């Protein structure tokens, strides 16, 4: 399969501060690609740049061979890219059903929209049981399910997931990621997954990029990254680092 998206040398700023420093990566059709890194590494900025919420000062983002950098967010969404933002960002006083249907606001195929709503309820039975309740009354895990469901209602070609495990219990994280894998396998939806939880992300992804200080410092298949000593030591925490390793870890923390 070819590349669905190609990102080349993007530089994005928050005011005078460069958040993304010449980042390049590819996303292959039908795969889960994960972007890993600690807080402040620039992961969310990448997703905002792709989705049109931020404009890069340099570089390009091509989706299906078409340049989309600096394109308005609604036009990006219309091309088939859905963002599930960090923190869910639901409308708390609207019902769960209304929040889900907002994901289909660009669509006019009512019969297919109704079918897709049932598909979301199939993925998330607990969401179906609360369809008439205000979204703000749901638990954090259920709100994350609604946010993913809302993205699915756009019938996207690619979903951008920003920290879906944030604030969730290990049990809920497992449940959410099982659904992410199902969406990828059953619907053949391409997924770009931004995560701090490197272990769970690399277990489900096909390919991974590790970001530090706005730069890609490592890229490989997810299975290969899981075996790399640096990844084990600094992101998976499964190696006894010793004194020298602790010094290196403390130094890395100060970078972020």
pLDDT of residue 250: 35
Mean pLDDT of 45-63: 96
Secondary structure in 3-state letters for 135-182: HHHCCHHHHHHHHHHHHHCCCCCEEEEECCCCCCCHHHHHHHHHHHHH
Of the two residues 2 and 174, the one the predictor is more confident about is: 174
What CA dihedral angle connects 110, 114, 120 and 121, to 10 degrees? 160
High-pLDDT (> 90) share of the chain, %: 71
List the Cα angle 90/135/189 in 5-degree steps: 55
pTM (2 decimals)? Answer: 0.88
The CA-CA-CA angle for residues 30, 147, 124, to 5°, reads: 80
Among residues 97, 88, 83, the alpha carbon closest in space to that of 132 is found at 97
Contact (Cβ atoms closer than 8 angstroms) between residue 124 and residue 65: no
Whether the per-residue pLDDT at 196 is higher than 60: the answer is yes
Give 238's pLDDT tier (boundaries 50, 70, 90): low
pLDDT score recorded for residue 226: 92
Pairing of strands 190-195, 81-84: unpaired
**Contact between 173 and 166 (Cβ < 8 Å):** no
| Average pLDDT value for residue range 187-214 | 93
- Provide the pLDDT confidence category of residue 203 given band limits of 50, 70 and 90: very high
For 189, phi and psi rounded to 5 degrees? -85, 130
pLDDT band at 247 (very low <50, low <70, confident <90, very high): very low
Domains and CATH numbers, the chain: 3-80+157-255 (3.40.50.300), 89-155 (no CATH)
Does the pLDDT of residue 192 top 50, yes or no?
Answer: yes
pLDDT tens digits along 9-33: 999 998 888 999 999 999 999 999 9
Q: In what order do the strands lie in the sheet with 207-212?
A: 81-84, 158-162, 190-195, 32-36, 207-212, 215-221
**Residue 14: strand, helix, or coil:** strand
Strand partners, 239: none
Tell me, what DSSP letter sits at residue 168?
A: -
CB atoms within 10 A of CB 50: 24
Taking the CA of residue 23 as centre, how many other CA atoms within 13 Å lie in the half-sphere pointing to its CB?
34
Cβ proximity of 227 and 252 under 8 Å: no
pLDDT of residue 256: 30
Model pLDDT, residue 239: 53
């Amino acid at each position: 399969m070819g590349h669905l998206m190609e990102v080349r040398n993007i530089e994005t700023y928050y005011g005078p501060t460069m958040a993304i420093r010449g980042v390049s990566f590819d996303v292959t059709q039908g795969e889960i690609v994960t972007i890993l890194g600690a807080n402040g590494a620039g992961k969310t900025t990448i997703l905002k740049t792709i989705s049109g919420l931020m404009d890069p000062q340099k570089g390009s983002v091509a989706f299906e061979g078409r340049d989309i950098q600096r394109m308005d967010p609604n036009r990006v969404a219309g091309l088939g890219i859905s963002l599930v933002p960090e923190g869910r960002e639901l409308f708390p006083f609207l019902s769960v059903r209304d929040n889900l249907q907002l994901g289909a606001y660009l669509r006019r195929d009512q019969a297919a929209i109704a079918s897709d709503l049932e598909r979301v309820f199939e993925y998330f039975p607990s969401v179906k049981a609360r369809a008439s309740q205000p979204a703000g009354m749901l638990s954090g895990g259920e709100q994350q399910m609604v946010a993913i469901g809302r993205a699915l209602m756009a019938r996207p070609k690619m979903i951008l997931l920003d920290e879906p495990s944030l604030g969730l219990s290990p049990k809920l994280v497992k449940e959410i990621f099982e659904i992410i894998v199902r969406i990828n396998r059953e619907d053949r939806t391409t997924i770009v997954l931004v995560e701090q939880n490197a272990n769970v992300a690399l277990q489900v992804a096909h390919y991974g990029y590790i970001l530090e200080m706005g730069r890609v410092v490592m890229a490989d298949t997810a299975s290969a990254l899981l075996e790399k000593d640096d990844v084990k030591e600094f992101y998976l925490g499964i190696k006894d680092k010793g004194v020298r390793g602790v010094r290196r870890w403390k130094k890395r923390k100060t970078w972020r």
